[in-house]
Amino acid sequence: MIHFNVPPFVGTEFQYMHEAVENHKISGDGPFTKRCNEWMQNHFDAKKAMLTTSCSSALDMAALLCDVHPGDEVILPSFTFSSTANAFVLVGAKLVFVDIRPDTMNIDEKKIEEAITEKTKVICVVHYAGVSCEMDAIMGIARAHNLKVVEDAAQGVMSTYKGKALGTIGHFGCFSFHETKNYSMGEGGAILINDEQYIEKAEILREKGTNRSQFYRGQVAKYNWIDFGDSYLASDINAAYLWAQLEVADKINQNRLETWERYRDAFKVLEEKGILELPYIPQACVHNAHMFYIKCRDLETRQSFIQYMRDNDILCVFHYVPLHSAPAGLKYGRFQGVDKYTTAESERLVRLPLYYNIDNKDLDRVIEKALTFFDTI
């Protein structure tokens, strides 16, 4: 069976995890956590980066740092994972879903302004497949209406928009290091703080409401309970696993890009014939090959393709069911305007196997079987 995903592994993970145990520091904010945080700050030019237990918890932190309260509204795409929405539902916000662009599957920046009301507090963007949203336009809208911008960059580590790392453009950025992502610690994520006035508050929030981080830096004589907070610290064992991959991040990125290019080159002829559509990368964007998807003509073709590939021991998978049509979406949100693309485009999309060091024979087989399927329809 050719799996859809295999968690990344570069070979030094066990060495570093063993070192974490020998350090007698396996809880949060140990030596490996600090290395990962510093790497993100330096590599992405972020003002502050902190590992968290997941991207979901990073989004939870962002919602709290945005000071969202019951009755406030948050604008976001419906084509996303539930964690994007949950973070704001948990603080009592009303979700306002807007349509996506059919080319990138990202939030349509031209639909945002009409969704803004006097209750709007935050715009939460999702960089689908590691391809950036149109951030200049979105940040301009946010400035005009005094709104916060949260980047759900779960899929966007190593991607850029006009030279700036995703996650560093809005007020807060959230990364995922789940096992399905380009760089993994099993379960984990990170929050990037891009406005210095929120750094101290974020540290306190992440450390159970205490100023323990300041205490460890020698900035206070003792630490105390300062404000509300929670435990968002990832284990240093998990951080050690991640550090092995961050050390060779460029190598992993290049490997994935080569696979992505192989797929694109193989299926370009089918797009030219109008049989399917391939991912679109805007000129201002540099992507990270987080995924390679194709869009079939319709839902029926997609389902037939998935079954055909499964029958040939290849796992290809669809993606999100739009949140606005889900029971919780109906309960906690509303769709602004017309759903012209969100549902229709999501029903056509299917993702192909893509992971670090995928075997070339497996890649050839995926391409061969996919071409065979589309030759028969």
- For 163, residues 6+ apart whose C-beta sits below 8 A from its C-beta are none
Domains of the chain in start order, with CATH, are 13-246 (3.40.640.10), 249-375 (3.90.1150.10)
Per-residue pLDDT of the chain (377 residues; tens, 9 = 90+): 999 999 999 999 999 999 999 999 999 999 999 999 999 999 999 999 999 999 999 999 999 999 999 999 999 999 999 999 999 999 999 999 999 999 999 999 999 999 999 999 999 999 999 999 999 999 999 999 999 999 999 999 999 999 999 999 999 999 999 999 999 999 999 999 999 999 999 999 999 888 877 767 667 767 889 888 999 999 999 999 999 999 999 999 999 999 999 999 999 999 999 999 999 999 999 999 999 999 999 999 999 999 999 999 999 999 999 999 999 999 999 999 999 999 999 999 999 999 999 999 999 999 999 999 999 88
pLDDT of residue 210: 85
**String of DSSP letters for 211-254:** -HHHHHTTSSSS--B-S---B-PPPHHHHHHHHHHHTTHHHHHH
What is the DSSP pairing of strand 292-295 with strand 349-352?
Answer: antiparallel
